[in-house]
Chain A
Amino acid sequence: MTAIDFKRFFAKTTPIAPSPVQAMAKETAIVASHINLVYRNGGEEFNALQDVSLTVKSGEVHLLMGPSGSGKTTLLSILAGLLTPTRGQVNLLGEEITQLSRSRLAAFRLKHLGFVFQGFNLFPALTACENVEVAFHLKGVPQARKHAIELLDQVGLADRCNHRPQDLSGGQKQRVAIARALAGNPQIIMADEPTAALDSQNGHAIITLLRNLAKTSGRTVLIVTHDPRILDVADRVTDLEDGKVVTKAKLG
């Protein structure tokens, strides 16, 4: 899929008002305002993100799309508080995270965010259950084992509790990663190319699962992807190109 295909698709959709700050309301989960990120390499400067603004409403599945190098993963890192923007603010669940110290930011992520990664990022030495338990333990949730099994059951992997990642298929690994992301009931799930390492059938199944699990509990899901096959599960799409927001679209 190329950027041209996206543009053709977005051309059929209704653009959203450009100012996310204006759109901010109680139901808003993520508000990014005028995000700029400048990399300096010697005397040269590279603008990875230029005046990016974005609003994601609570309970919505929002896709962040664009070609490789468009800055979508960089934006996700900033929205997750893993990267500090050169300029601009990020507000998550009403908290201005760009003002938080590292330790408070870590505590915020622990409490409110769940992550799903392109490479799964499971602990290879731990079983599926233990991988999910880790998240519960970090959050200080008691009876972690019981909760981990319940979550694995929700993603259809209760019978794989004691299997290590090496014994699971790509789709199963991503299901374990989703279960881990859901541990402790975070309000926002951030997923980076969650289908990139999967075939189309598994990829679609994973995204559908993610959407269903999010929708049933009112979670907000922000997915970075360049896979147009998952557009049908999204409520809203933002398209990035060369570090700038090109289009925003509300689907369905």
Chain B
Amino acid sequence: MASIARKNLFEDIPRFLVAQAGIMFAVSLVTVQLGILRGFSRSTAIVIDYARADLWVASKEMVAFELTSPLPADYVNKSMAITGVDRAEILLVRAGRWRGADGKLSPARIFGFNPDGELFAGWTLSDGSLQAIKQPYTAIIASGVEKSLGLDENNRTGSIAGLPVTIVGTAEDVQSNASSPFLFSSLETANTYGDAEINSSINCVRQPDGNLNCTNSFKNRPLGQKLGDLASPQPLSLSDPISYILIRAKPGQNLPQLKQRLLAALPETQILTQAEIAAITRNYWEVRTGVGFILGLGATVGFIVGMVVVGQILYASVADHIREFGTLKAMGASNGVIYRIIIEQSLWMAILGYVPSIGICLTLGQWTQMTRGIMILIEPSTAAAVLLLTVVMCMGSAIFAVQKVTRVDPAIVFKA
């Protein structure tokens, strides 16, 4: 049987295109909002996802990956001494103020790790090498942050707290949408950047009456120090604060038992699996900051707007063809036949609106990732969910149209 639904849809091509533009707008809105939500959620813990640690030793006060209290560096030695630990590596997470070549300031997140290590840097480099950061005052940046840091192909330098930074590589797909631009350095360089922001000193003199008279002085480092003027960063001492210890268990170890042993040996810590610390971090951003709510609300609004748009289009289409539906009813077609026509029409609209929209959103996602480092994550599951939502949206909208047809008086067919 000729598909009345499909033929009705394509009867007037300009009108069809206008209608589809409305549906594409709605589908794109939902897809981008969901993609941003998913991309944001994924990006907040993407550095953790790339790591290859079985367990993470974190401060008991840790709230999220980038919001934690320090641990003593000698915990790494204590960790190594625990039965079942194959490897333990230090991770520093520090904040800094990047000053680009143009003199403009930008916040920066600095990660310090051992470039010869095996547990942290699982990401791919689009240029440079991990070994390059063994050179003092060098760093690898996350792709997509160049613009924020004022970098380009000709200018790959800046400074943090007056100390020079030379960019020696770019890591692909590792930037968090919720954070400042990421820089990855050796432990020594990251520690130096982290401590160098302000120099402070306290001078105290005992007064004749026995009281102490203290003076606390703060001083910024001078800007634009040259490499030749600087001493190499100092290796970490056991008293230096660190952020995390990444643990690799020996093969065949019982991880819950190893967690207990680490917990007993390392006071004021929590021992988390990689999945646990990633989940805590994502939950923090999605729930505690309200960002997830806002983005979820955006997706919901997109869905509602989509339903209204599709509903209006379908309703108008049914209104235009009401005499035909009346004719079908007069001829003896059951309501089921007529509902099927409307539902089929809504499904065609859903599919024909969905396919180009997903294409547009994927292209948009690649563009934002490349140019701004902002991830719009459209995984197969997201695409499938949007398809389902689109179908639900269109079918839900069809209810309005079905209501109209249900009320059609078949006697209208006898009116000229």
Contact = CB atoms under 8 A, between A and B. Distances in A.
Nearest to A77: B411
Nearest to A127: B2
Contact of A82 (B2, B328, B411): B411
Interface stretch (A18-26, A110-118, A151-159, A235-243): A110-118
B332 interface: yes
Contacts of A107: 332, 334
Interface string B1-41: 11010011011000000000000000000000000000000
A225 to B, nearest CB: 13
Nearest to A183: B331
B414 A77 contact: yes
Given A130-B2, A133-B2, A193 B333 contact: no
Interface string B311-346: 000000000000110011111111001000000000
Contacts, number: 80
A82 B327 CA distance: 11
A108 B411 contact: no
Interface size class of A (residues with CB under 8 A): 35 or more
Contacts of B337: 138
Contacts of B415: 73
A138 B7 contact: no
A197 B416 CA distance: 9
Interface residues of B, number: 25
A133 B1 contact: yes
A115 to B, nearest CB: 6
A110 B410 CA distance: 13
Contact of A126 (B2, B334, B413, B414): B2
A11 interface: no
A162 to B, nearest CB: 11
Contact of B323 (A76, A83, A110, A121): A121
15 contacts: A73-B414, A115-B327, A115-B330, A115-B331, A123-B4, A123-B8, A123-B324, A124-B324, A125-B11, A126-B7, A130-B2, A133-B1, A138-B331, A138-B337, A192-B414
Interface of B: 1-2, 4, 7-8, 10-11, 323-324, 327-334, 337, 409-411, 413-416
Interface of A: 73, 76-77, 80, 82-83, 103, 106-111, 113, 115, 117-119, 121, 123-127, 130, 133-135, 137-138, 144, 192-193, 196-197
